[in-house]
Amino acid sequence: MTPDDAGKAAGTPEFDQHAHDYDRLVADAIAWTGAATDVLQRSKIEDARDVMRRIPPGDDGAVRVLDFGAGVGNTIPHWRACCPDIALTCADVSSASLAAASRRFPDGAIFAPLPSTGPLPFEAASFEFAFAAGVFHHIPAAHQPRVLAELHRVLRPGGALMIYEHNPWNPVTRHIVRHCPFDEDAVLLRAGEMTQRMAAAGFRGMHARFRGVSPWQGRVARRLELLVEGLPIGAQYFVVGSV
């Protein structure tokens, strides 16, 4: 990954500027939908947990997880609640965001600043699972192949990458992105585009699922979502690919 790739992967310096008010900006952007940011974060990690159940642990029995572009650490309490036994590394190029995450959850993860130059600072095959939520729409299309290749490199054989992104087919999503201050540079990617780019980077067995059909949560809403998860109507989607 080039220096520019690393910077734009999490929005530096823009996300440094918004580290202190990131949660408020997100809450303001989606308030009119009735959705709660904490509930949305929890649902993503629940999806990740379901994927990780099919991934064998490392030789020492641990599952090492890389949260790529972890920002201010909003996923950390949900990782700990849903997957208490994982070895979690939260990585980000925004030093201010990562500092905020480490202050909020000092024992919640290993915090790994991403350098402004060079590849990801991890050995090959360091992780069983990598997760990136709302990161790739900030990375220029020309740089995404190298970012994906780096994520492929740091995953061990049998591991998987899960990418959560905004669905450009959804009008609510487009409205929210247009009015969110730190999404000014966002270029939304279709699920098919993400699947193709992951395949080109060496990932295999890709599948995409759509989420956020309704802002309401609960057992009934979850069942509805699972019934239509193959249709591109949700506010977001995730793509999973194996190594």
State how far the alpha carbon of 189 is from the alpha carbons of 35, 79, 164, 167, 211, in Å.
Answer: 22, 26, 11, 7, 15
Measured between alpha carbons, how far is 21 from 28 in angstroms, rounded to an integer? 11
**3-242 in CATH: which number?**
3.40.50.150
CB 195 within 8 A of CB 208: yes
Question: What per-residue confidence (pLDDT) applies to 233?
Answer: 78
β-pair partners for 13: none
Query: Hey, where are the domains in the chain?
Result: 3-242
Burial class (CB in 10 A: 0-12, 13-18, 19+), 219: exposed
Written as tens digits, the pLDDT of the chain (243 aa) is: 333 433 334 444 455 454 444 444 444 444 444 445 667 788 899 999 999 999 999 888 889 999 999 999 999 999 999 999 999 999 998 899 999 999 999 999 999 998 766 699 999 999 999 999 999 988 888 889 999 999 999 999 999 999 999 999 887 767 766 766 556 677 899 999 999 999 999 999 999 999 876 655 666 666 677 666 667 778 889 999 999
Q: Record the pTM.
A: 0.81
Give the chain's radius of gyration (CA, Å).
Answer: 17
DSSP 114: P
